Amino acid sequence: MNKIPMTPMGHTRLEAELKRLKTVERPAVIRAIAEAREHGDLSENAEYHAARERQGFIEGRVMELEDKLSRAEVIDIATQSGSKVMFGATVKLVDEETDEKTSYQIVGPDEAEIQQGLLSIASPLAQALLGKESGETVEVSTPRGTRYFEILEVRFG
């Protein structure tokens, strides 16, 4: 069983979503199905079919979240330190071609939001960065071709 790395904040977010699905969404869809059944013929009842489809989505997501939470390896970033890039590190980079500077925190796959600077540890860029230090250059294959980034800073917290 593969562990899924995540920050405490990411773990809390998944737990909150699971709780919401079980306590709010699931009962609401059960009520919607019951109401739709009262309307009679189920074969031509769009409300019933929509509610059943929603129920299937909710149940699938509940199972997915329960699986991820059972395999979660919560890593407290506050306890991390060092000069090498690893899970939880915030890495400041410069694209050697465009001189564009960016900063990313390396987080678990379910926490990644690139617009907020949260980069999945499973991404090609994060994989290239792992184990590297400030001043090193990494090569990353992207859909737009090979790109080179220099690591300007590695920090934790």
Neighbouring-strand partners of residue 131? none
- The ranges assigned to domains in the chain are 4-74, 77-155
Q: Are strands 145-155 and 90-95 parallel, antiparallel or unpaired?
A: antiparallel
> How distant, in Å, are the alpha carbons of 31, 48, 57, 91, 138 from that of 130?
49, 49, 35, 10, 10
pTM of the model: 0.80
pLDDT in tens, 49-73: 899 999 999 999 999 999 999 999 9
What is the CATH number assigned to the segment(s) 77-155?
Answer: 3.10.50.30
Q: So what's the architecture of 4-74 in CATH?
A: Orthogonal Bundle (1.10)
CA–CA dist 145, 50 (Å, integer): 43
pLDDT tens for each residue of 110-133: 999 999 999 999 999 999 999 999
The pLDDT tens digits for 90-102 are 999 999 999 999 9
